Structures are given as C-alpha cells and as structure tokens.
Chains A and B, each alone.
Chain A
Amino acid sequence: MRGAKLLQYLILGAILVVVPLVVHSGYVMQILIMLAIYGILVLGLEIILGQTGLFSLAQAAFYGMGAYTSALLALRLGWPIWLATIGAMATSALFGAAIGFPVLRLRGDYLAIATLGFGEIFQLITNNWNSLTRGPMGLPGIPRPHVFGIMFDRTMYYYMIVAIFFIALITAFHLCRSFLGRTFRSIRDDEDAAEFMGINITKYKILSFVIGGIFAGLAGSLFAHYITFISPDTFTYTDSEMLLAMVFLGGAGTVIGPVIGAVILTLLPEVFQFLVQWDMFVIGVIMVLVMIYRPQGIWTSDIRWPWSRKDPALAAQGK
C-alpha cells in the first residue's frame, strides 16, 4: 500500500519535472505557474475557511498585500528577493492577526461582511496612495530572482515555484493532521463546545488567519516577482470570490480538494475560451451542477480511487 502511494508520487513528480522539457509553449508554462500560485493561495484559504470555518472574503487582499510588500521592498529598498518574500509573508501574517482581533467576535455572515470591508480598504489604499503604490498605474519593473548573475527564466521559475508549492502542500497537510488542525476543526464544528473543552478559540482563530496570511503572502510575492508588474485590479473582491469558489468546488475541509478546485477553475476559462463572453456562463452552470449533485465538493475524504485496493472490511461485506 505504502509502495503504491510512493509510486504515485514518483510518477507525479516525474511528470512535473519533464513537462518543461517537452512542452515549449510559453502559454502552457504560464498556466502551470499560475496554477501553483493559486494552489498556495487556496491552501491558505483552506486553513481559514475549510478547517476553521471562518468565512473570509479577504484572501485576495492578503494576496495583494504580499505582492505589494514584496515588490516595494525589492524596488524601493533594494532588498534581495528571498528577504522580500519573507517580509511579504510576515506582513500578511501581521495583518491577518490585525484583522483577527476586531472581527473575531463576529460569526458567519457578519464575519464575511467585515472581511469584505477589509478587502475594500486594501483596494482603496492601493488605488489612492499614489506616492507609495502609484495607484491604478501599478508597479512595473519588479525584479525577477537570479542566481549567480543569471536571471530566472520561465522554466527555472517553474521549477522553483513547483518546489515551493509542494513544500506548502506538505506543510498544510502536516498542520491539518496535527493537533492544530484538530483544534481548528473543533472550532468549525461547534465553537461553543470547543471553548468549553478548553480551547482558547480567540487565539486559534487569530492563528488561523495568521497561517492563512502567510500562505497568501508567499503566493503574492511569488506572483509579483513572476509577472513583474502588479496593479490593484489583480486583487479585487472578485478574486476573493473566485478563491472561495475554488475551495468549495474542490471540497472544503480537505487539503487536496481546494487545490483541485483551483486547477479546475483556472483551466476552465482557458478551455472555454472559444465561447468568448459565454465562458463564465458555462462555468457558472458547472458550479451550480456540482453544488447540487456534490455539495461537499469534488474531493471528499471518503473518495476511493479505482486502482486503490478495496478496504478488506468493506470487501467482506460484499461492497
């Protein structure tokens, strides 16, 4: 069983390594890199929304905050990129905690509205603080990372970002499987009961926002240094909504699910490009159908692969 799992990972790893050697299309590479960035981003939202059950509409704002922090640190202060990335993660984490303190007494819909407001504040600031962010004109010329004087080209960036994505994925897995994930889930399941069982819910909710912010800051920084140009309209409310859709489509509460949601919702618009302006309509219909027939999301914990061996207990029952 363990061997089969290892083999699956090896095959997946081999495919990911070989892809840039075989595929020379810049378009495909671009999509893959964006997939990895969105993957990291939804992992953060999965911690906040899927595990802790906090309905946050501010994930795109944390993402943008990471991108802006990293870009500004590299552009204005000339920080090395890895340091700027750490700065971006720290800033997003800090603001995660900052948003946590005032709004965590709110629940459900009210929390969603408060986080939505936070996202809008971020929009307003980036659009209007011209001396720092150049407003709607955006920040051009963000440096790409380089090693030994060689600039990262797309392929190198791909390898780096895929590696970072897998580190993020493993970290998220570890968090969710540990006592921390269990604590988060107890808050999602029944906040009051969790508090009676000795869980300091305020602390863990803030921690959840902080961890989600770290993931978002990392994703934002990677995005900024890849695209080399950022402007406020990349980090709007619509993007937060898209991230929510990814988490719910893939399966909130699982780690892999939201990543799959991110893959689907990033690829579908590309696949349906021939429909011109109708593509979002078709995607909407698909979303509605999935929510009707599989409300728990595409990926759930009880999913069974056709090639994985049957559970002996179930096989004995003839299932």
Chain B
Amino acid sequence: MFILKIEAASKYFGGVRAVDAVTADIEEGKITSIIGPNGAGKTTLFNLITGTYELTSGDIIFHDRSLNRMHPHVIHSLGIARTFQNIRLFPTMSVLENVMIGFHSKLKPGIVDLFIPNRYRRVEQSMKERAEAALNLLDILPHAGLKAVSLPYGEQRRVEIARALVSDPEIVLLDEPSAGMNVGEGKSLMQFITRIRDEMHKTVIVIEHNMRVVRWISDRIIVLDHGHKIADGDPEQVLHDPRVIEAYLGKSGLTNYAQVN
C-alpha cells in the first residue's frame, strides 16, 4: 500500500537541478531511508514534500491528493510532520510549549475560545496533555519546564521529534535525526524510530548518513545523487549496488571496493 507517491518530481534553482525527475512510492507503515552524498537533493526532496518549495514539474500525491502548491501548514494538518537538519526549536519557549505548538493544527482553536473560560481551559489542557504524552514517549518529560535551547544537542533532537509526533501525523519525515549524537544516543534514537513504526504504525522517511544505522533500520532505501534517483530497493541490495558505491566513493573507490571484496 503506497501512502505517498512522488511522480517525476523536479526542482530547479536556475540552472541547478536540485531534484530531477525523481519517482518513488513510499510504502505505508515502513521506514524508508533516503541516502546520498552531500548535495544530492535529499533535503530538497523533503522540502518539496512539506511544501517549502513549489515543484518545477511533476507531482507529489498523498492519499490521492496532490500536495503541489499547498502551504506547509496545510500539509502539516493533512498529516505530514517533519524535523530539521539543523535543529529549529523555538528558542524563547520551554520544551513543553515547543511541543504544544505542534498540536495547534490538530485542535485549531479559534479566537472565540479565548473568551469562554470553559473552552479555553479545555483547549489548553488537551494541548498540555498531548504534549506531555509525546515528551514522555521520548523520555524527556522531566525537562518539560526548561528552555528548549538549554538542553544538550541530543535532547533537543528528541524535543523536535516529540514536536513532530504530537500532532499524530501519518508520515514523519526525519532529517538526519542522529546528526551530532554520540553512539549511545544514536542507538537509542534508532530503536525509537523502529518503535514509531512498530508501535505507532506510522510511515517514517528518514535522511541518514550513518550507513550502519541505515542498514539496520530501513525497510527500503532510496539513493539520490545529483538530483537523480540512482537506486531504490531493500537495504542489502541497494548498498551493494555498484552505482551507489560509485556515487559515494568515486570510480577508483569502486575498483578498490571490488578488490577488497
């Protein structure tokens, strides 16, 4: 069952073809990794899915609906949430408030709710409860009252993931979730990502550089290079594809690799 269909999606910045006619179908309830060397267009593809950029051509279909030209906040309320490569928490807010913002689009409180005490309390309470549940899931509930930016890097990443999960999205896009984490933190995060799939039954798309991690968690890997999709399939098959190795290590690297093997 395909939940998200990327159909010949292209994004050109002037002469630069950041994403060039990428076609891929994302399966529901699976972890799909997008890998590729720096500048391959991975984050641009994320930005196309979440509506930062308009597609130059092609289309992205989510549940039979085209996401093209939709505002990011609309796409979020349809059920696609994301995290960022460089952490983007709201610096002046506490951890709890950061996560509460993520639930806003589900509740859609109106200005009228402000002046009806009962409704106001109910809105705030349900936002708080949901946010606390999400924080609890990521084991950062004890830090709920702290300023988000005062936390260590790894915990900030967790706050970002909690903020993405709080709205109960169908697809979670994680942009290099383990960047800047040490081995232990990275490992527990990866375990958590498999829990998102197995226990919460969500579709996860993850950009990741750590190949060991990618091999371990992915159900499927898509490899991008210079905006093109060069490989697509299950981990073992993709990671042994000569074209993938070439993209990462270059032509001479390929010969070395062949000699080693």
Chain A contact residues, CB within 8 Å of chain B: 174-175, 178-180, 182-183, 185-186, 188-190, 192-201, 207, 253
Contact = CB atoms under 8 A, between A and B. Distances in A.
Nearest to A174: B114
Contact of B120 (A178, A192, A207): A178
B104 interface: yes
A290 to B, nearest CB: 20
What class of interface size applies to chain B in its complex with A?
A: 20 to 34
10 contacts: A189-B90, A190-B90, A192-B88, A195-B71, A196-B73, A196-B81, A197-B81, A198-B106, A200-B71, A201-B73
A199 B92 contact: no
Contacts of B81: 196-198
Looking at chain B's contact residues, the main secondary structure is: helix
- A-B pairs with lowest CB-CB distance, top 9: A198-B105, A198-B76, A189-B90, A193-B88, A195-B72, A200-B73, A186-B101, A198-B73, A197-B102
Contacts of B76: 196-198
* Most B C-beta atoms less than 10 A away, residue of A195, A196, A207: A196
Contacts of B105: 197-199
Nearest to B148: A189
A201 B72 CA distance: 10
* Most B C-beta atoms less than 10 A away, residue of A179, A182, A183, A192: A179
B90 A193 contact: yes
Contacts of B73: 195-201
A182 B92 CA distance: 10
B109 A196 contact: no
* Most B C-beta atoms less than 10 A away, residue of A179, A198, A201: A198
Given A196-B76, A198-B102, A179 B167 contact: no
A188 B81 CA distance: 21
Contacts of B185: none
* Most A C-beta atoms less than 10 A away, residue of B82, B90, B106: B90
Interface in B86-130: 88-93, 97, 100-102, 104-107, 109, 111, 114, 120, 123-124, 127
